[in-house]
Amino acid sequence: MTSTESLQNLRGCSVKVDRKLAHQLVKGIAKVTAKGHTYYYAWRGGPRLRGQPGSPEFIASYKEACEAARTPDAARFRFVIVSYKASGEYKKLADSTKRNWGRWLDRISDYFGDLRVAQFDRPEKIRPVIRRWRNQWADKPRTADYAMQVLSRVLSYAVDPLGKIASNPCEGIKQLYHGDRSEIIWTDSDIAHLKESCAADVAHAVDLAAHTGLRLGDLVRVSWSHVGADAIIMTTGKSRQRREVIIPIYDALRRILNGIPKRSTAILTNSRHRPWTENSFGSAFNRAKIDATMEERDLHFHDLRGTAATRFYIAGLSERVIAEMMGWEEEYVKKNHPSLCRPQRGDEGRYRPAQSGRKGRTMNKTCKTDSKTDDEKPAKYWSGRRESNPRMQLGKLPFYH
């Protein structure tokens, strides 16, 4: 009798096999001998198995034990986590988000999974436990806050739609990270310094990010088919493909696109002429910063969005249009307006926001905004709820050619 036939028997086949060999093939089975009798358990501390190793009854009881182990007790918090991962809400998340959240859900399950769900309905008791778990990453405030974001989302799911608890105990726990990067942008000299030593494929991505404001996840997805005569039009990954971003093609952006070789359907490709992934580009970008001796500089790739927003303002776009293009709320643009207003060069070569009172910027005139670019070329951009979407005015906008 071969081991293959024995394994087939373990999978439910009716082939008769040697019991000792079949028992060896089922890993983890616990054997206990007491008062001259031998008993078998699915695992140490697990349920008792029926029949003798290798028999159909034995295999059936083993499968039942494994299936029961995969279905958590509904009274334990692990049940909430499993339910959330199986929910349509979780499945609608972007693939990158599910990858990141999946790791944290496993950590949450390991730490909180055996607690009873009812314990989360007593905020004064469970909050110290939550804080102790979060404080494992106290030296990395952004990581700690990210962990709390995932846990809070699971607890919100326990409130509604599961109805397991009355309120989310994470509410009221303060964040550890209090950084504001809204005024941190890459200047032209920063970008030029990086490009002196980085590979051309990385430089293309940096230039495109600084002229479109696209997030990295969208940047690696943008293809030549998204590029029209007057604008780049694509759906965004952060909105799960439900929101459309429209980026008018102005002179500088057109020059960037014309300088990128067409080696794939994707605009950005690596040295092997294959489209980038977020992770592979992130690694290449970090290496480029190290090669340029910029690893100690507080500049992230995401900060190129602020650079793009500043360039949009210089080109004459209104706050509402900038908000539409960047995927921001208009109130956020107004709140962080100093970092998006017309930049002035300081002695150190950094962009410096204009002084208060909105000096130096062109004010909106009812439904139209007239301004000039740095090259003194006129431009008109429309504001207003419908007109704020650049797509509404693609035929009217006098793009620079």
For residue range 154-173, list pLDDT tens digits in order: 999 999 999 999 999 999 89
Which of 188-202, 316-330, 339-353 tops mean pLDDT?
Answer: 188-202
Is residue 349's pLDDT more than 50?
no
Which of 126-135, 326-335, 377-386 tops mean pLDDT?
Answer: 126-135
Own/partner long-range contacts of 196-200 (Cβ < 8 Å, ≥24 apart): 196/292, 197/288, 197/291, 197/292, 198/288, 198/291, 198/292, 199/271, 199/284, 199/288
What one-character DSSP code corresponds to residue 128?
A: H
Q: How many CB atoms lie within 10 A of CB 362?
A: 14
Q: Are strands 244-248 and 231-235 parallel, antiparallel or unpaired?
A: antiparallel
Is residue 63's pLDDT more than 90?
no
Paired strand residues for 34: 37
Q: Are strands 368-372 and 244-248 parallel, antiparallel or unpaired?
A: unpaired
Q: For position 195, what pLDDT does the model report? A: 95
Per residue in 189-214, pLDDT tens?
Answer: 999 999 999 999 999 999 999 999 99
Q: For position 3, what pLDDT does the model report? A: 40
CB-based contact 228:304 (threshold 8 Å): no
> Can you tell me the mean pLDDT for 336-347?
45
Q: Are strands 244-248 and 344-345 parallel, antiparallel or unpaired?
A: unpaired
CB-based contact 220:268 (threshold 8 Å): yes
> Can you tell me the mean pLDDT for 335-346?
47
Q: Which fold has domain 188-393?
A: hpI Integrase; Chain A (1.10.443)
Least confident range from 108-112, 134-138, 151-155, 320-324: namely 320-324
Paired strand residues for 232: 227, 247
pLDDT band at 393 (very low <50, low <70, confident <90, very high): very low
More confident residue, 111 or 371: 111
More confident residue, 47 or 186: 186
| Contacts with 173 (C-beta within 8 Å, 6 or more apart), sequence order | 127, 130, 131, 134, 148
> Can you tell me the mean pLDDT for 13-25?
43
Q: How far apart are CA 60 and CA 266, in angstroms?
A: 51
Is residue 22's pLDDT more than 80?
no
| Contacts with 155 (C-beta within 8 Å, 6 or more apart), sequence order | 80, 120, 165, 168, 169, 170
CB-based contact 320:383 (threshold 8 Å): yes
310 by Cβ neighbours in 10 Å (0-12 / 13-18 / 19+) ranks as buried
Q: For position 241, what pLDDT does the model report? A: 72
Q: How far apart are CA 221 and CA 212, in angstroms?
A: 13
Is residue 91's pLDDT more than 60?
yes
> Can you tell me the mean pLDDT for 259-284?
94
Supply the mean pLDDT for the chain: 77
Q: How far apart are CA 90 and CA 78, in angstroms?
A: 16
CB-based contact 250:315 (threshold 8 Å): yes
pLDDT band at 390 (very low <50, low <70, confident <90, very high): low
State the angle between helix axes of 278-291 and 200-212 in degrees (0 to 180), rounded to the nearest 10: 110
Least confident range from 16-20, 88-92, 238-242: namely 16-20
> Can you tell me the mean pLDDT for 267-271?
95
- As a whole-number percent, the residues of the chain with pLDDT over 70 amount to 73
Which of 241-250, 331-340, 376-385 tops mean pLDDT?
Answer: 241-250
> Can you tell me the mean pLDDT for 2-31?
50
More confident residue, 31 or 152: 152
Q: For position 180, what pLDDT does the model report? A: 63
State the angle between helix axes of 95-112 and 123-134 in degrees (0 to 180), rounded to the nearest 10: 120
Per residue in 283-319, pLDDT tens?
Answer: 999 999 999 999 888 899 999 988 888 888 777 777 7
Domain ranges across the chain: 3-70, 77-159, 188-393
Alpha helices in 71-115 (DSSP H): 77-85, 88-91, 95-112
Residue (of 100, 154, 102) closest to 130 by Cα position: 154
Q: For position 156, what pLDDT does the model report? A: 95
Q: For position 396, what pLDDT does the model report? A: 39
Q: Are strands 37-41 and 378-382 parallel, antiparallel or unpaired?
A: unpaired
330 by Cβ neighbours in 10 Å (0-12 / 13-18 / 19+) ranks as middle
Q: How far apart are CA 145 and CA 153, in angstroms?
A: 12
Is residue 86's pLDDT more than 60?
yes
pTM over 0.85: no
Amino acid at 12: G
Structure tokens at 67: 């299936």
Q: How far apart are CA 124 and CA 266, in angstroms?
A: 52
